[in-house]
Amino acid sequence: MTSKLETPELLSPFQMADLNLKNRVVLAPLTRGRAGAERMPNELMAEYYAQRASAGLLISEATVVSEQGNGWVNSPGIYSEEQGEAWKKVTAAVHAKGAPIFLQLWHCGRASHSDFHAGQPAVAPSAVRLNGEYIHTPLGKKDYEIPRALAADEIPAIVEDYRQAARRAREAGFDGVEVHGANGYLIDQFLQSRTNQRTDRYGGSVENRLRFLKEILAAVTEVWPAQRVGVRISPNGNFNDMGSADYRETFSQVARELAPLGLAYLHVVDGLAFGFHELGEPMTLSEFRRVFPGPIMGSCGYTQQTAEEALQRKDADLIAFGRPYISNPDLVERFSHGWPLAPEADMAVWFSSGKEGYTDFELYKNG
């Protein structure tokens, strides 16, 4: 059994602009695939999020902003009014437990397959294939394909998809949105030189590669105040075949460009538990702290102890926990009381279609 830490910054309140968070523990966005073929939020999902609402902030699983953005079986969407309406049961369940919840906005880009798109190829900034073992599609495991490079005149429509998704999120009762710019999905594909080989205004220099993200943020902040919009980036990650030689220059510039916007937070996947591209030394939260004045959230592989240390150093203001939250819906309570964590759940049940591996984890029984 672990002992309580002497000065638990992790469990202290945090004022995130106009949101008073009861602690600095965040439920990380975790794709769980329980929304069915119609990608419709449901009662099971509402139960799952409500179980974890002792967190200071919850971030929803990645949620596609358009049919074009689909690339994961049974993940939820917010590209129809019906989907937006269905999310209300989730936000209501979380709010009933006294926690705020942000919706993560997602477009898979090349991390998809033609099986998701009636035989049409996935889209990307450039026609660069993802080198991966396979992708799960509605028709089974398939090889990755070469995506179709987006024409410049197609990009405004995708930006508009983000705007409309942000609007539906607000109408559904979310407290804010997180723009998913990490883990090798479409925005990250534009940011990184490995996947962005364009020669137009969306490619080449770091400033040009940043343009897509900045246009999305301009659209989203017409719907939400900037203090209710977060951005997630993954400077160290190799997930979805990512990692660029100029990663440090790129992501330092991303943080500098986002600094004056007054965002809710910058969510940096700084941990290496999800894979490291090994192109140099990992970027640290302290590097981002030097150039980004707003709240910083760290994530990926943190323990209670390492989270506390990051907060004590003032490298981060919030820490997101992913895998520990799957099998420990009462993670905050376990941290608070020094109770041991449940063993990590078998990955085989993470993406089942029902409650198994989702809502069936027991709370800690003291004594």
Q: Which residues form the catalytic set?
A: 185
**Is the CB of residue 30 less than 8 Å from the CB of residue 322?**
yes
What whole-number distance in Å separates Cα of residue 216 and Cα of residue 231? 11
Q: How far apart are the first and last CA of the chain?
A: 12
**Is the CB of residue 90 less than 8 Å from the CB of residue 58?**
no
What whole-number distance in Å separates Cα of residue 170 and Cα of residue 39? 18
**Is the CB of residue 267 less than 8 Å from the CB of residue 299?**
yes
Tokens at 350, concatenated: 């993470």
Residues facing residue 180 across a β-bridge: 232
Task: Calculate the alpha carbon distances from 276 to 174, 182, 285 in Å.
Answer: 32, 13, 15
Greatest Cα pair distance in the chain = 64
What whole-number distance in Å separates Cα of residue 126 and Cα of residue 195? 6
Q: How many CA atoms lie within 13 A of 270 on its CB side?
A: 24
Q: How many CA atoms lie within 13 A of 118 on its CB side?
A: 2
Closest C-alpha to 10, from 218, 228, 308: 308
Tokens at 4, concatenated: 């309580």
Residues facing residue 233 across a β-bridge: 268
Tokens at 182, concatenated: 């990490």
